[in-house]
Structure 1
Amino acid sequence: MSASRVITWDVSASRGVETAWVELGGGVMRARGRAVGTVPEPYWVSYELETAEGFVTRRLSVTVETQTQDRALDLRHDGHGRWTAGGEPLPDVDGALDCDLGLCPLTNTMPVLRHGLHRTPGEREFLMAWVSVPDLAVRPSLQTYTHLGPGRVRYASGDFRSDLEVDGEGYVVEYPSLARRLTAR
């Protein structure tokens, strides 16, 4: 790994905050993060994310604590398009390259970096293994990322659209209606 970062976001969508410790280099990303939110209910999230070459998700391990329940998810991609959660097949997300952890601006980084959408023109549609928070349900999500200019990428899924500001490394700086980075480079 060539570059380590610690990034903190004010996550307005959850009325909370998230910090991620990220290592990035050689087309691979490893991260661990912690978040606290109050919407839809107070919760703590801890996660570990590993990608293979090309920023393709290999594993996302997540735990969530709420007042009434603790949950855990071990989401794995086999490198051939198939996913499992806790060892059980998830055929609805087969073919997806990425996970998208709900309310987590870090997971927008992988598709942006893979295709250089923060630097060069293009538009790409992705099937994502979307993980909702705090229940950790995994669902398929079609998402489109469009280069708008240097450091500007439009994210779209269904009727939702947001124009993201990302830094030169592809990390979210501003995600209107979701999060804003608190830490400087």
Structure 2
Amino acid sequence: MCAITWEVFASRGFETAWPELGEAVLRARGRAVGTDPEPYWVTYELDTADRFVTRRLRVTVESADGSRTLDLLHDGGGAWTANGAPLPDLDGALDCDLGLCPLTNTMPVLRHGLHREPGEREFLMAWVSVPDLAVRPSRQTYTHLRPGHVRFSSGDFTSELEFDEEGFVVDYPQLATRLTGR
């Protein structure tokens, strides 16, 4: 198992993930520290099912306000729950997107090979904001620009992400850049 570490500009912090890629599945655990908007620690575990579809994201945040935990589950048929409560606004979403976490951009890119071949895909994501762990629907578009480069857009935000051959983020301008790994 390898580790990937990013400097996360958006939170004025760092993240390290320990991903394991299998045949169309991704499992990872990670830890992050941020100081913006407040000092906090994040610990997460991510499990995907076939074709990199999110199965579960467990996240814990520790801050001056105490500890918060989120257990986000996808039933494989398009329905989501957060700590057991249904999230009907996310029906049909396949992926989670943990805020300020470059790792979670990997699943949709790998599923459609967008870091290697032409294409554009729009996704509904289960977006988890950090550090409050609120879950909201997020429409996101990924567009292949050239090998290893994908444009990400959501609302008014657009950025050109750089991916390595395995599909992990190397550089995400305005968010994070990789320091070590793979």
SS in 2 for 1:70: strand
CA offset at residue 89 of structure 1? 0.3
**Residue 87, structure 1, aligned to residue 84, structure 2:** yes
CA offset at residue 68 of structure 1? 1.5
Residue 77 of structure 1 is matched in structure 2 by 74
SS in 2 for 1:79: coil
Q: Which runs of 5+ in 1 are unaligned?
A: none
Residue 167 of structure 1 is matched in structure 2 by 164
Equivalent runs, 1:35-184 vs 2, <5 Å? 35-184=32-181
- Hey, what's the Cα distance between the residues in 2 that align with 1:68 and 1:184? 33
Q: TM-score, normalised by structure 2?
A: 0.99
Q: What is the root-mean-square deviation of aligned Cα atoms in Å? A: 0.6
- Farther-moved stretch of structure 1 (60-69 vs 125-134): 60-69
SS in 1 for 2:150: strand
- Hey, what's the Cα distance between the residues in 2 that align with 1:155 and 1:25? 25
Percentage of matched positions with identical amino acids:
76
SS in 2 for 1:106: helix
- Hey, what's the Cα distance between the residues in 1 that align with 2:58 and 2:175? 22
Q: TM-score, normalised by structure 1?
A: 0.97
2:127–2:135 CA contact under 8 A, matched in 1: yes
CA offset at residue 69 of structure 1? 2.3
How many pairs were matched up?
182
- Hey, what's the Cα distance between the residues in 1 that align with 2:140 and 2:2? 26
Superposed CA deviations along residues 54-81 of structure 1, whole A, max 9, x for unmatched, are 0000000000001122100000000000
- Hey, what's the Cα distance between the residues in 1 that align with 2:2 and 2:28? 9
Superposed CA deviations along residues 119-174 of structure 1, whole A, max 9, x for unmatched, are 00000000000000000000000000000000000000000000000000010000
